Structure 1
């Protein structure tokens, strides 16, 4: 009998994944061995620029994000003709290439928002991650987040 408490493997995270244009997704992806790669300002800005590039290429519209030292939370709306796996994969590839090393754990977690879910509430939850993690006393003191949907 499978262990219901076991952590899923990267390949298991892809089961049932669907890319729907216009769908809003909450993406979470973690650094390899949970290393605090993004504690470094240059690394964090590189990742943020990769998110902006995905939007500039009309692949995804960023609604909110926070770059934590060892992971990323990204609230995005997928654009037409874009694959969720390809968009997230491109962001991860750009940052890994820019830093010249493996920085990401394989796979990512995605949650497609349902119509009844409160988008603003989720965006506030995402950007408050540094506060809950004890990294800052006020959300505004943390430099690596943005939200257009609060």
Structure 2
């Protein structure tokens, strides 16, 4: 049986705790502040920033760019404008990972959540797909969020 001195045990525990908590947090939540007309395949540029901790979401492009490798969670919610339908895709590096649909009944609201492994520099965004081109301006219905869950993958 090996016995370690108490000071070494405390040092090891402190080092592990510091490693877990020393990495800066990454997370964002954004909304639309106005009715939005989208072109075919156009990225949605959420212009109202609620949180952008780590500055990895770009409101001018609508893209989140991973500042580090890790396991991330992304969520998107949509509501089409008035009595229209709309399909939105969540995309990783240009490849569709999910599709969200809002049907033509008034105030239909849809959402989707995905967990993705990203490398540093990978991009995630939402874009118009298939049908529909208008998103309703009511910000709480059209949101995009993401957060780094863990770098330990």
Task: Place the TM-score, normalised by the shorter chain, in its bin.
Answer: 0.3 to 0.5
* Structure with the larger strand share: 2
* Structure with the larger helix share: 1
TM-score after normalising by structure 1: 0.38
TM-score after normalising by structure 2: 0.37
